[in-house]
Amino acid sequence: MTPLDQDALASLFHAGAAQASQALALWLGRPASMLIDRLTRLSLIDAVGVLGGVDAEPICGCGMRVTGALSGGLLLAASDTAGLTLADLILNRPVGCSTNWGELEQSAVTETANIVGCSYLNAIAARMPGDRSGGILPSPPQFIRDYPAAVMEAAVVSQAAASETVVLAESAFRLAGVPIRCGLVFVPDRNDFDLFGAAWNEPRS
């Protein structure tokens, strides 16, 4: 298989992020803007801190295991406040109504992750090189509420077993008119080295 160069890889994940942003806007009926959109290579320490450092409050989110033409872990994450606001919007409640993580609130976030995550992966799958066009299969999203560093630690362990650096695709979105900012992080498995060959090399200056 032919590794993609840095620009082609960045373009692939940009397409995913753009589609995810549109899906989020459609799902919640509000304009969404993309705040972050990058494919990056970080030290292990920085990668674990992508969603928050040692003093960070717990986050909520959903994890999806991705297999097929692309393999790795996909995480949709937000602060507790943003997650509960998201649940309010989906459950058609006044913003601020949800105050804890009941079954309905968790389900609202899980469904959001399903829609946004699948849009992201579909856009990527449609642009994969010919020898990788076999489809991308996400697992059902699993609700997570935990410290950001603990979640990211689990996400990067596959790469960390072989390297002191981590390649990941990171995007973040903001919704108009409500205090919702959420992040979408894809961490490829180390065995996708052939596809990500260029990204694993030292970054270009």
Partner 1 sequence: MTASPDRTTGFHSDAIPIGEIGVARDSGVLRTFVGSCVAVVLQDRRRRVAALAHVMLPAANGRVTPPGKYADTAVPEMLRLLSLLAGDSVACTAMLAGGARMFAFGAGSPIGDQNVTALERALALVGIPITARDCGGACGRRVSLDVATGSVTTEMVGRGIQALEEDRR
User: Binding residues for partner 1, per CB under 8 A?
Assistant: 44-45, 48, 53-54, 58, 63, 65, 71-75, 142, 144-147, 149-151, 153-155, 157-161, 164, 187, 189, 191
Of residues 164 and 202, the one with the C-beta less far from partner 1? 164
- Gap between the Cα atoms of 176 and 122, Å rounded: 25
- Gap between the Cα atoms of 161 and 183, Å rounded: 25
With beta carbons less than 8 A apart as the criterion, state whether 5 and 197 touch.
no
DSSP 131: G
Distance in Å, CB of 7 to partner 1, minimum: 26
**Which DSSP helix (H) or strand (E) runs through 39?**
strand 32-43
Of residues 149 and 172, the one with the C-beta less far from partner 1? 149
Distance in Å, CB of 51 to partner 1, minimum: 11
Distance in Å, CB of 139 to partner 1, minimum: 9
Angstrom CA distances, 52 to 57, 78, 107, stand at 8, 11, 24
With beta carbons less than 8 A apart as the criterion, state whether 31 and 132 touch.
no
Secondary structure percentages of the chain, helix, strand, coil, to 5: 45, 30, 30
Of residues 32 and 156, the one with the C-beta less far from partner 1? 156
Distance in Å, CB of 103 to partner 1, minimum: 15
DSSP 190: G
Of residues 25 and 154, the one with the C-beta less far from partner 1? 154
Distance in Å, CB of 47 to partner 1, minimum: 9
Of residues 32 and 72, the one with the C-beta less far from partner 1? 72
